[in-house]
Amino acid sequence: MNDMESNELIATILLCIGVLFNLFGCIGLIRLPDVYNRLQSATKCVTLGTCSILLGVLVHYGFIEVGIKALIAIPLLFFGATVAAHALVRAAYKAGISLGDKNVRDDYKDVKS
């Protein structure tokens, strides 16, 4: 197996992993009981999935223009998605959206903001 074939194999594996994580995140959006769990599922799964896809693009194309753009997008997506999810969850909590029926405790209730 030469370098070109091994790079294509690694890129394909990364792309498949990314698509699977994005699929799991979408299933979590449908199946989970409340907005807080849905946002956690979407943020963690979709961020990891999309970063994996971008890493697959980098491996496939190498360090040309497309690969460098994918490399730059990975940290931007990683930090932007986590900050946006935190802001959405905090706004939902402050707006009074209740937790799901199966939640055991609310740790944020006693925090003064």
Successive 10-residue mean pLDDT values, the chain, 113 residues = 87 97 93 90 92 96 95 95 92 88 77 64
Quick one: CA torsion of 86, 78, 43, 87, rounded to 10 degrees?
20
Instruction: Indicate if the alpha-carbon torsion angle 101, 103, 108, 110 is positive or negative.
Output: positive
Which residues fall within 8 angstroms of residue 36, CB to CB, at 6 or more apart? Answer: 89, 92, 93, 99, 100
Q: Containing H/E element for 47?
A: helix 35-61
Global pTM value:
0.86
Both tokens of 70, joined, read: 């994918």
